[in-house]
Amino acid sequence: YTGKTGSELLSDQLKKLKVREHHSVPVVVNDKVSVYDAITTMFLEDVGTLFVVNESSLLVGVLSRKDLLRASMGNQDLSDIPVHIIMTRVPKIKICHKEDLLLDAANKLIENQIDALPVVIDREDGQEVVGRLTKTNVTKAFVDLVRDENV
């Protein structure tokens, strides 16, 4: 018997969870595509956040639902506006790595009031997007933790 309190045991369990086991597949668009095409991709892929990559598949931006809604409020033709005009860009983008604690990634989501983080691998010339960590991933991990305990 460890003599640990319930909340110590819970936090021990939480600190075992890594981004690696809980992230989703990333949905990416090229920085040359139009806002119209990004909206289409967001609907077809059924995600709330798109990651924008350059020719070398390196992360250059993030597009949220509100970014695309905001761009749609003017009278411009959305097929004529490239996403790189409206996206949130590097270096403002908050990222995580597969080996990070899920708890640390969750903290980044809360502190920055965002819905998703790109999971990246660091390259010499930038960051390659290999996953998408969302608030839903964190919620699911939380629910699974209790379910596993009842097995």
Contacts with ligand ADP, residue ranges (CB under 6 A): 48-49, 62, 64-67, 88, 92-94, 113-117
Name the residue among 150, 79, 66 with its Cα closest to residue 113: 66
Distance CA 60, CA 55 (A): 10
Task: Please give the residue whose beta carbon sits closest to ligand ADP in the complex.
Answer: 66
Minimum distance from CB of 68 to ligand ADP (Å)? Answer: 8
Q: How many CB atoms lie within 10 A of CB 62?
A: 23
Minimum distance from CB of 21 to ligand ADP (Å)? Answer: 20
> What sign results for the dihedral spanned by CA atoms 92, 98, 102, 104?
negative
Listed in order, strand segments (DSSP E) in 5-112 are: 28-30, 49-53, 59-64, 88-89
Name the residue among 4, 151, 20 with its Cα closest to residue 98: 20
Minimum distance from CB of 137 to ligand ADP (Å)? Answer: 13
Instruction: Output 37 or 145, the one with its CB closest to ligand ADP.
Output: 37
Instruction: Output 65 or 98, the one with its CB closest to ligand ADP.
Output: 65
Minimum distance from CB of 4 to ligand ADP (Å)? Answer: 34
Instruction: Output 10 or 94, the one with its CB closest to ligand ADP.
Output: 94
Residue 129 and residue 59 in contact, taking contact as beta carbons nearer than 8 Å:
yes
Minimum distance from CB of 89 to ligand ADP (Å)? Answer: 9
Instruction: Output 10 or 41, the one with its CB closest to ligand ADP.
Output: 41
Instruction: Output 17 or 115, the one with its CB closest to ligand ADP.
Output: 115
